[in-house]
Amino acid sequence: MSLSKIKLRINGKEIEAEVEPRKLLVHFLREDMGLTGTHVGCDTSNCGACTVLLDGRAVKSCTMLAVQADGREVTTIEGISSGDDMHPLQKAFIEKHGLQCGYCTSGMILTSFWLLSKNNNPTEEEIRKAISGNLCRCTGYQSIVESIKYGAQLMKEEEKGEQEIRVR
């Protein structure tokens, strides 16, 4: 099968690659890029385990081809924090036990990342609605909802902290 050239940004890095036109974005990320934090949980775009950010928007990377990401910006779970630092949402999921087996976690965090980028103070109902394209079989969702609420709070605190530093 002939290969297609694609150029995109993944987690802030410029990437050029050759892929089979039929390859799904999720397989490109996991297998060619070694970004195994993006998971596969279904074959009908129901579970959300494969969620990534495409130009800042949460999408299911099993529903698109790698070639469709040409020229775009992809952020995976590995890209929302660097080194030992953690994004407030990551901290919140640990502290509020927003995970058990951990398989749905990357997708949950990226979907809530997107939610909070649009709405930094979501209600419980808005959170539940936003993550209803992401299935979790372990937690019953309550601790995930609490994690997202807490993450929103941490993000606001962090922002405030940064503003104060800037003011000073």
Partner 1 sequence: MTTLNWKEGDLAYDSSLFVRGKGHFVDDLKIPGTLYMSVLRSPYARARILSIKGGINGSELKAKMASVGEGADPSQTVSIQPVFATGYVNYVGEPVAAVFGDDRYKATDLLENVEVDYEPMKPVVTIDDALRLPPIHEGMKSNILVQSSRGSDFKDPDSPIVLEDTLENERVATNPIEPRGIVASYSDGMLNVWVSTQSVHSIKDGLVESLGLRPDAVRVMQTDTGGAFGSKGGLYPEYVIASYASMKYGRPVKWIETRREHLSSTNPGRGVRGKVKIFAERDGRIMGLKGDVLVDAGAYGTGIASFSAGFIAMMMTGPYSIENGYVIGRSVLTNKVPQGPYRGAGRPEASFFIERMVDLLADELKMDPADVRLANMSDKPFTSPLGMKIEPAKPFFESAVRELEYRREAKLTNGVGLSFFVLVPAVYPGESARIIVKDGMVKVWLGGNSHGQGHENFARKLVNEELGVPESIVTLFRGDTGMTLDGVGSWGSRSAIVGGAAIVAACRKIKRKVEKESGNYSPELLLSGSYDEFVYEEQKIPLNSFGANLATVEIGKLGNVKIKKCAAYYDVGRALNRDMVIGQIQGGMAQGIGQTLHEGLYYNDDGQLITSSISDAGVPLAEDLPNFTVKIAEHRSSLPHGAKGLGESPTIGVPTALIRAIEVASGKRLRKTPVTPEELIQ
Interface residues with partner 1 (CB under 8 A) are: 20, 22-23, 27, 30-31, 34-44, 46-47, 49, 76-78, 81, 86, 89-91, 93-94, 97, 99-106, 109, 127-129, 131-132, 134-145
Question: Counting contacts by CB under 6 A, is residue 137 touching ligand FES?
Answer: yes
- In the window 40-69, what residues touch ligand FES (CB under 6 A)? 40-42, 45-50, 60, 62
Least distance (Å) between residue 168 CB and partner 1: 31
Task: Indicate which single residue of 100, 126, 143, 153 sits in contact with ligand FES (rule: CB under 6 A).
Answer: 100
Q: Tell me which of ligand FES, partner 1, none is bound by residue 52, counting a contact when its beta carbon lies within the kind-specific cut-off of 5 to 8 angstroms.
A: none
E strands, the chain, in order = 4-10, 13-19, 51-54, 57-60, 73-75
Q: Tell me which of ligand FES, partner 1, none is bound by residue 76, counting a contact when its beta carbon lies within the kind-specific cut-off of 5 to 8 angstroms.
A: partner 1
Question: Counting contacts by CB under 6 A, is residue 81 touching ligand FES?
Answer: no
Q: How far apart are the first and last CA of the chain?
A: 59
Question: Counting contacts by CB under 6 A, is residue 30 touching ligand FES?
Answer: no
71 versus 140: smaller Cβ distance to partner 1: 140
Say which amino acid occupies 125: E
129 versus 160: smaller Cβ distance to partner 1: 129
Dihedral-angle region of residue 42 (phi above 0 means left; psi in -120 to 50 means alpha; beta otherwise): beta
Residues 46, 52, 54, CA angle at the centre, nearest 5°?
115
Tell me the C-alpha to C-alpha distance, in Å, between residue 67 and each of 3, 64, 70, 108, 141.
Answer: 10, 8, 5, 25, 34
Residues 137, 63, 108, CA angle at the centre, nearest 5°?
35
Query: By three-state DSSP, how is residue 133 classified?
Result: helix
Q: Which residues bind ligand FES (CB under 6 A)?
A: 40-42, 45-50, 60, 62, 99-104, 136-139
